Amino acid sequence: MASYTAPLRDMRFVMHELLDSSSLSTLPGYEQATPELMDAVIEEAAKLAQDILLPLNLSGDAEGCTYENGVVRTPKGFKDAYAQMIAGGWTSLACDPEFGGQGMPKLVSTVFEEIVSSANTAFGMYPGLSHGAYRALHAHGSEALKKQYLPKLVDGTWSGTMCLTESQCGTDLGLIRTRAEPDADSGFRITGTKIFISAGEHDLTENILHLVLAKLPGAPAGTRGISLFLVPKFLPTAEGRPGARNGVSCGSIEHKMGIKASATGVMHFDGAQGWLVGRENSGMRCMFTMMNAARLAVGMQGLGLAETAYQSAAAYARDRRQGKSVGGKTDPAQVADPIIVHPDVRRMLLESRSMTEAGRALSYWCGMELDRAERHPDPAMRQEADDLVALLTPILKAALTDLGSDAANAAVQVHGGHGYIHEWGVEQLVRDARICQIYEGTNGIQALDLVGRKLGQDTGRLLRRFFHPVAEFLAAHEQDAALSEFVGPTAKALGRLQQATMTVAARGMARPEEAAAAATDYLRLFSLVAMAFMWCRMAEVAQRALQAGANGEASFYQAKIDVGKFFMARVLPRHSSHFQVVMAGGETLMLLPEVAF
């Protein structure tokens, strides 16, 4: 089985020492959110993950979900685990107290998402989708809908889905055929079929609330004519209990490469009763509330899988004895050395670890900014925070899911032949991680979002939210000899990112295909610079702690600096190749005629 222990010390380092989580208690509604309370929450989350969810990961993958006559059953143990999750209040963690939520900061729920994803990604899909539905309904639903449905989503007794994709359209949602007919008695009648619906049908909750994209009669063509509807599996009674079955059914579940314990269904809506969420023809705007939350959550899945992959590989490398060190056997009493002495094994481990720690810092920063965007009393500060989150969302989704896949593959490589065997658990990580690069918008779509929407929005306003603080930090520490191994390489990479940004913007205005051709490498270049910035800040905090005596934790802080130096020397230089590809332009991509493929 894969190895995982929540890295609580590193999480606390990022939350409290790097980001100063204590500042959250100055925001309205977060007065009680002290670092001590946050620590208590994540410590309990770690117990839930390690004691309950992790032991179900391998068995859940082997058993998968079953489908019979429209009924879907989750693997053995999942129902009990979910009952323990809602009994512990975990589904209400960052929800509005008005509807029964605990009102914890988004930063805390971000950490929780990482912990759950690390232990059991497939299980985490069920509460994760529900929280996305909660966010969309909370932001756009009528007061009546919120009063009726949000308390059930918050306490976890009802779950939620997002129903977008159809067989003829995934990314291009303007092609959807699902229709909504006005009904005098019940609002609307929804008819159509949706595919790839995660948690579309299961046995964990007593009701399932589907948020469905559909088109009204006479609606404008394309995405401008899409509306969003709430369609429950069971129609609620006057007492708020599940009543008559609605016209919703599951036609089948998919047999997937990974996350097999997460039910992915084909959902049929046959004149199902539904209620409009938001205004008519504004469905995409409403759905993006859920979709953007989902993209950040998928990024946390990638991060969680990377952490588990690293821990599993490191544990194996410390234990497995094969060959001897190229510099001579390190332990003469043993027939062989542990493989962790070999430089190439250390390379794989440090690549995974250095990018995982940087990704954690970057994603937690985004979580803090989500809190500021929602709670800060100054509208200008809320806008700044919202801008940074909007910019970072496609970067985090793509970069962290690429990381999850790469780290999982590296874990298999470290394990050698054992890594290819199911019982060791790391080949499952490879399969589970692969979907993260695809759903909620493929990573190529994230790159197009970055260059097509975010790069030029309001003459580069979103970009300035990132470039300015990075440039200010680098200028302030330019002469700091202790940080020279961090600041110098980051400044060079930032300069190239800025040059690439101007090039992509200029070429894209003249020929949109040029920006699209550069998009993936531009996003990867951006992500490396963002991670480098996080390493600069983490190194500064670690060095300051060492200078102050480290309070008995000198080895922790020194390791932080050492891992950061590895990133700067052996990972960040990859920015040069991405920069060269961006600058090469898109001509060679389009030379080959379609018939030649």
Q: CA–CA separation, 47 vs 53, rounded Å?
A: 9
Residues 205, 207, 213, CA angle at the centre, nearest 5°?
Answer: 120
Dmax (CA) for the chain in angstroms is: 84
Structure tokens at 225: 């004519």
Say what the pLDDT of residue 91 is.
97
Q: CA–CA separation, 90 vs 444, rounded Å?
A: 33
Q: Kind and range of the H or E element at 449?
A: helix 443-449
Neighbouring C-alpha atoms within 13 Å toward the C-beta of 60 = 28
The H-assigned helical ranges of 376-511 are 379-415, 426-434, 443-449, 461-476, 484-510
Structure tokens at 386: 């919202």
Question: Beta partners for 274?
Answer: 188
Q: CA–CA separation, 263 vs 253, rounded Å?
A: 6
Q: How many residues does the chain have?
A: 597
Secondary structure class of 198 (helix, strand, coil): strand
The H-assigned helical ranges of 25-142 are 35-47, 55-63, 78-87, 106-119, 121-140
- For residue 185, what is the DSSP state? T
Judge whether 63 counts as a catalytic residue.
no
Q: How far apart are the first and last CA of the chain?
A: 42
- Check 440, 485, 540, 594 and give the catalytic one: 440
Rg (CA), the chain: 24
Q: CA–CA separation, 573 vs 516, rounded Å?
A: 24
Q: CA–CA separation, 134 vs 201, rounded Å?
A: 18
Q: Kind and range of the H or E element at 433?
A: helix 426-434
Backbone angles phi, psi at 277, to 5 degrees: -110, 120
476: exposed, middle or buried (C-beta count within 10 Å: 0-12, 13-18, 19+)? exposed
For each of the domains in the chain, give its residue range(s) and CATH number, in order of start.
54-88+120-281 (2.40.110.20), 289-584 (1.20.140.10)
Say what the pLDDT of residue 328 is.
79
CA distances from 228 to 95, 196, 217, 274 (A): 22, 18, 14, 9
Cβ neighbours of 456 (radius 10 Å): 18
Helix axes 35-47, 106-119, angle to 10 degrees: 20
Q: Tokens 């994230």 map to which residue?
A: 446
Residues 444, 229, 128, CA angle at the centre, nearest 5°?
Answer: 55
Antiparallel, parallel or unpaired: β 66-68 and 71-73: antiparallel
CA–centroid distance for 450 within its chain:
16
CA distances from 79 to 5, 82, 123, 458, 489 (A): 23, 5, 10, 48, 50
Residues 356, 439, 248, CA angle at the centre, nearest 5°?
Answer: 135
Which residues of the chain, if any, have pLDDT below 70? Answer: 186
Backbone angles phi, psi at 202, to 5 degrees: -170, 180
Closest CA to 142 of 289, 279, 299: 279
Q: CA–CA separation, 362 vs 532, rounded Å?
A: 10
Task: Encode 258-291 in three state secondary structure.
Answer: CCCCCCEEEEEEEEEEEEEECCCCCHHHHHHHHH
Structure tokens at 407: 């780290």
Whether 455 contacts 501, CB under 8 Å: yes
96: exposed, middle or buried (C-beta count within 10 Å: 0-12, 13-18, 19+)? middle
Say what the pLDDT of residue 450 is.
97
- For residue 240, what is the DSSP state? S
Hey, what long-range contacts does 252-256 have (CB within 8 A, 24 or more apart)? 252/67, 253/65, 253/67, 253/72, 253/201, 254/196, 256/435
Q: CA–CA separation, 177 vs 286, rounded Å?
A: 19
Q: pLDDT tens, 238-276?
A: 999 999 999 999 999 999 999 999 999 999 999 999 999
**Torsion angle (degrees, nearest 10) of CA 168, 197, 110, 472:** 0
Whether 280 contacts 453, CB under 8 Å: no
**DSSP track, 338-390:** BGGGSHHHHHHHHHHHHHHHHHHHHHHHHHHHHHHHHH-SSHHHHHHHHHHHH
Neighbouring C-alpha atoms within 13 Å toward the C-beta of 203 = 17
CB neighbour list of residue 93: distance below 8 Å, 6 or more residues apart: 41, 101, 102, 104, 108, 109, 112
Q: Tokens 């323990």 map to which residue?
A: 84
Report pTM.
Answer: 0.96
Whether 582 contacts 521, CB under 8 Å: yes
CA–centroid distance for 339 within its chain:
32
Task: Name the residue type at position 535.
Answer: W
Residues 28, 88, 58, CA angle at the centre, nearest 5°?
Answer: 120
Whether 258 contacts 433, CB under 8 Å: yes
Say what the pLDDT of residue 415 is.
98
